[in-house]
């Protein structure tokens, strides 16, 4: 018997049960894990093109696409001499998008990573149509190298007064992959006298509960 594979595929794609939509949302919390002081608590922007490619690469076992790095930068805001902050638009267009001015990067998964402080986990409640990727990243007292001793800088342009942050995917053959998310916030200084913890939640949710 000869099967008409084109007709079969066509009928499958026309099945309304197969026409599912997904949304991706992100949220970050930046705080001092010792004092529990919260510096930033807000949603972020998703780079939809890069996220789609990353999800497809991960699902098809291409060895790339999964979250591997958290990038930090200081180019997301402009502060005038009166202290007024202007926030730039997150970079979410173009496959080669990046932070405005990346000054530090922290690997959060893979060999050599302290998995007690920098790790990812998936959280899902049975019966719900979403799953959360929980990304945890800790900047310890001694990192990054070259930071100032105290968090009292009056210069928002120094390398480790961060005002932008993003998640980056693992690229082909171990290269730095595409930017998946980008968030811009008021400047937060990383200095030797305090740690900074970042809790980054990426929620992947089905827009179709079932038919």
Selection from 199, 208, 178 nearest residue 51 by Cα: 178
Query: For residue 7, what is the enclosing H or E element?
Result: helix 5-14
pLDDT of residue 3: 35
- For residue 81, what pLDDT is reported? 84
- Residue the block writes with tokens 């638009």: 89
pTM: 0.85
| pLDDT for the residue numbered 10 | 46
Query: d(Cα 22, Cα 24) in Å, to the nearest integer?
Result: 7
| pLDDT value of position 19 | 58
Low-confidence residues of the chain: pLDDT under 70: 1-20, 174, 209-211
Q: Is 13 helix (H, G, I), strand (E, B) or coil?
A: helix
CB neighbour burial string for 166-190, b if at least 16 within 10 angstroms, e if fewer: bbbbbbeeeeebbbbbbbbbebbbb
Which single residue is written with the structure tokens 């009166």?
Answer: 82
Give the pLDDT score at 86: 95
Whether 204 and 162 have beta carbons less than 8 Å apart is answered as: no
pLDDT score of 90? 97
Answer for the pair 191, 150: CB distance below 8 angstroms, yes or no. yes
Task: Decide if 201 contacts 183 (C-beta within 8 A).
Answer: no
pLDDT of residue 145: 94
CB 176 within 8 A of CB 184: no
What per-residue confidence (pLDDT) applies to 2? 40
């Amino acid at each position: 018997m000869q099967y008409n594979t084109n007709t079969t595929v066509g009928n499958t794609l026309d099945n309304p049960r197969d026409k599912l939509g997904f949304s991706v949302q992100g949220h970050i919390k930046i705080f001092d894990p010792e004092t529990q002081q919260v510096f930033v608590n807000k949603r972020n922007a998703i780079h939809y093109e890069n996220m789609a490619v990353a999800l497809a690469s991960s699902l098809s076992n291409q060895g790339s696409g999964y979250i591997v790095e958290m990038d930090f930068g200081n180019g997301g805001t402009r502060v005038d001499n009166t202290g007024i902050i202007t926030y730039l638009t997150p970079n979410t267009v173009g496959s080669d998008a990046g932070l405005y001015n990346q000054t530090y990067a922290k690997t959060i998964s893979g060999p050599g990573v302290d998995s007690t402080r920098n790790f990812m986990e998936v959280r899902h409640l049975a019966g719900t149509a979403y799953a959360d990727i929980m990304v945890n990243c800790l900047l310890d007292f001694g990192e990054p190298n070259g930071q100032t001793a105290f968090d009292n800088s009056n210069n928002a342009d120094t390398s480790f007064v961060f005002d932008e942050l993003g998640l980056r995917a693992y690229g082909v053959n171990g290269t730095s992959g595409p930017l998946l998310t980008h968030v811009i916030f008021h400047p937060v200084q990383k200095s030797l006298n305090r740690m900074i913890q970042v809790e980054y939640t990426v929620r992947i949710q089905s827009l179709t509960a079932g038919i």
